Structures are given as C-alpha cells and as structure tokens.
C-alpha cells in the first residue's frame, strides 16, 4: 500500500524535508503522533484501499479518535501538491506552537485564543464577490475550493509585533480568484471583509474595534503570484484559529494585512481602510511592507523573534521576498510603503 502512495507516506514520515535546519526536539514533537495525526493516517490508509471519506469518518469516530469537526468535506484535498518554488531558510514552526499563538481579536485579544476560536462556524460558508466586476456572485466555499487546484507552499510570516513563524500553507494564488471574479478595468483595489457575528465571536462585542475586520491590497498586488489564499495548513484544512475556511497570506507584508475568515471580496476604486489603520493610522498603514530599516513608532523592526526556536534573527526587506515583489513598488514614495 505504501508503494502505491509514495508521496503520501513520504510527506507523513519525513516532514523534515520542509526544513534546512534539523532540530532533534522538533523531530520528537512531530513523531509524538497527535490524535489528529492518527486520524489522518487512518484516512490515508483507507484512501489507499479506495474507500470514501464517509467511511473514513465513520471508522475514525467509532475508534474514538475523530470528532465531528474532523469530518471536513474538503479534507480529501490535502495534502496538496507541494510547490517547490517556495522554500524556507528555517524550520517549519510546529503546528502546536503557532496554533496557540494567534492574533484573532474576534475571539479575544490574548494570543492563545485557539479554544475560543473553535466557536467559529465554518459551514455553510459563502463568499460574496462584488464591486467592480463583470457580474457579482456568491459562491459556497466548498465549491470554490474545488474550482482552483490547491498547492502547498512554505511561507514565512512576520508579525508587526516583531515575531515570526513559518507555515506550510495550502491554497491557491489570489490571482486565480481575481481571474474568476473578472474585475473591470476601473478596479484599483481589492477589499476583503470577514464575518460579523458578535454572538458567535465574542470578541466582536468589544466596542473599541470597528468590526468587521477589513483589509485591502492594490489590484497589482492581488495579481502577484505570492499573494495566496489559504484554505489548508499542515496537510489538512486550515485550523479555525488561523482563519478557516479561507484566509489571505501576503508573506512580504506584516501579518495584520493577511485577513482571516474571508466573507466578502470587493473590487473597488477607492483605497480600503483596514481595521488597524482605522484604529491607529500612525502605527498601521495600508502598505505595511516588511522593512527592517523602518521602525514601528514604538519598537525596532530590525530583528524578529522566531516562534518555537526562540532565536532572534535579522528581519529581511519584504520579509525576504524582495526579489519577487520589490518591482511592485518602483517609483513609489518610500515614506509610507513600510508602515
């Protein structure tokens, strides 16, 4: 059976291929199979026999290792084929670490909101696509995710708070979604909006923040191959605390630009104002491109603390993606590009 699925067995057993550095402690934590890991192996074994998802979920549930939410109708899409063009200079952050260190204010202002984020209801989930497009439409997430082929990419994530993580995201380039939306020539920006449901997400009762979370990019940025719509991570559907069922990731920008749990995508003429920019325009700008030379008003951005390893490493221009994205900003005023 293993011979029949060489790719799967390799990825499962040799996750170290993601990284350059090898850390024994990390290897240990990866090998300590979590219930989910056990469950996924089960599924793969069953897939090897050609059995369907329903059977797998039933069996997993009867074995007492599956929970209702594990029976994700898109689980069969993962692991997605790896795009080897995106490599890392550091190990992949263990899932248990970055799964408990998230800024998702909809579920609380602390970092470990993972448990509370499980209140996020992700089915049914529809995405409204509108604004300056040929024809506005609404699409169910489960349909959208099967319209565009998924791939796995290893990305660095740099938070404006000077910490960083690395994640094996799965998803598709934002530009594929833009193509699907067919924007009109007058569209200059893409505006993203998340859900608004204070009953489900108790953090949205916090009156300090102008809910819902909004973010935006230029149409040129949206067309760049690096701009990624994330639907999965760690070879399964993306966890709720990371912004299930679909989120954005712009690896060359500070993390707050990468909006979670997207509900609405609009193509607009006017520059959108994100939640953080509305709150603190002096600290969180529209561009928010990573630049170690430009400090945040209250701290230096020269270095970053890498989650898990705890290393303090120099931050790179455009978070190390300068070769790819610097061209997007030629001739623009550097005074605002990096905050």
Partner 1 sequence: MTPWTDRSGKFSPLKAAVLLGACLPALWLAWAAASGALASAAPVGLLGARPITEAIHQAGDWAIRFLWLSLAVTPLRRIANWPKLILVRRMLGVTALLYALMHLTLYAVDLKFDLLRIVSEIALRFYLTIGFVALAGLIALGTTSTDAAIKRLGGRNWNRLHSMVYVIGVLAAFHFFIQSKADVYEPTLMAGFFLLLMFYRLAHWRGFALTSPLVLVAIAVLAALGTAAIEYAWYGIATGVPPGRVLAANLQFSFSIRPAWWVLATGLGVTLLALVRPWFGRNEPARGRRAAGATA
Could you list the residues that contact partner 1 (CB under 8 A)?
28-29, 32, 94, 96-98, 100-101, 109, 111-112, 163, 205-209, 278-281, 295, 298-300, 305, 307-308, 310, 312
Phi, psi dihedrals of residue 235, rounded to the nearest 5°: 60, 30
Q: Which is nearer to partner 1, 145 or 307 (CB)?
A: 307
Sign of the dihedral through C-alpha 12, 17, 23, 24: positive
Q: Which is nearer to partner 1, 58 or 280 (CB)?
A: 280
Phi, psi dihedrals of residue 165, rounded to the nearest 5°: -145, 170
Supply the minimum distance, in Å, between the C-beta of residue 85 and partner 1: 28
Q: Which is nearer to partner 1, 49 or 299 (CB)?
A: 299
Supply the minimum distance, in Å, between the C-beta of residue 240 and partner 1: 18
Rounded to whole angstroms, how far apart are CA atoms 321 and 329? 13
Q: Are 88 and 19 in contact (CB under 8 A)?
A: yes
What DSSP designation does 198 have?
T
Q: Which is nearer to partner 1, 10 or 110 (CB)?
A: 110
Supply the minimum distance, in Å, between the C-beta of residue 67 and partner 1: 20
* Beta carbons within 8 Å of 25's beta carbon, 6+ residues apart: none
Q: Are 97 and 308 in contact (CB under 8 A)?
A: yes
Supply the minimum distance, in Å, between the C-beta of residue 236 and partner 1: 19
Supply the minimum distance, in Å, between the C-beta of residue 248 and partner 1: 21
Q: Helix H segments across the chain?
A: 6-13, 24-31, 35-48, 53-62, 95-98, 114-117, 141-144, 174-181, 219-222, 275-279, 322-325, 334-337
Q: Which is nearer to partner 1, 74 or 164 (CB)?
A: 164
Q: Are 44 and 10 in contact (CB under 8 A)?
A: no
Q: Which is nearer to partner 1, 44 or 157 (CB)?
A: 157
Q: Which is nearer to partner 1, 96 or 134 (CB)?
A: 96
What DSSP designation does 318 have?
G
């Amino acid at each position: 059976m293993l011979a029949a699925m060489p790719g799967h067995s390799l990825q499962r057993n040799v996750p170290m291929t993601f990284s350059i550095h090898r850390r024994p402690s990390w290897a240990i934590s990866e090998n300590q199979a979590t219930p989910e890991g056990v469950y996924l192996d089960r599924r793969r074994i069953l897939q090897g026999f050609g059995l369907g998802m329903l059977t797998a979920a039933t069996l997993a549930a009867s074995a007492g290792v599956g929970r209702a939410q594990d029976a994700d109708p898109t689980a069969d899409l993962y692991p997605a084929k790896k795009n080897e063009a995106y490599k890392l200079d550091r190990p992949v952050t263990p899932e248990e670490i970055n799964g408990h260190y998230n800024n998702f204010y909809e579920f609380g202002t602390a970092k470990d909101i993972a448990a509370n984020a499980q209140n996020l209801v992700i089915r049914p989930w529809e995405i409204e696509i509108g604004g300056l497009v040929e024809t506005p439409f609404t699409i169910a997430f489960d349909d959208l995710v099967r319209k565009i082929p998924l791939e796995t990419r290893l990305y660095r994530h740099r938070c404006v708070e000077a910490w960083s993580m690395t994640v094996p995201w799965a998803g598709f380039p934002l530009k594929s979604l833009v193509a699907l939306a067919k924007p009109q020539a007058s569209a200059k920006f893409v505006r993203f909006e998340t859900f608004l449901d204070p009953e489900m997400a108790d953090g949205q009762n916090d009156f300090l923040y102008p809910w819902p979370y909004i973010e935006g990019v230029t149409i040129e940025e949206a067309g760049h191959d690096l701009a990624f719509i994330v639907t999965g991570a760690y070879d399964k559907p993306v966890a709720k605390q990371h912004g299930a069922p679909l989120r954005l990731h712009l690896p060359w920008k500070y993390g707050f630009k990468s909006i979670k749990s997207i509900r609405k995508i609009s193509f607009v003429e006017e520059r959108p104002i994100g939640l953080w920019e509305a709150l603190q325009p002096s600290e969180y700008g529209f561009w928010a491109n990573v630049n170690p030379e430009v400090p945040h008003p209250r701290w230096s951005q020269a270095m970053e603390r890498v989650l898990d390893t705890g290393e303090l490493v120099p931050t790179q221009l455009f978070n190390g993606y300068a070769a790819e994205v610097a061209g997007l900003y030629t001739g623009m005023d550097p005074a605002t590009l990096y905050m």
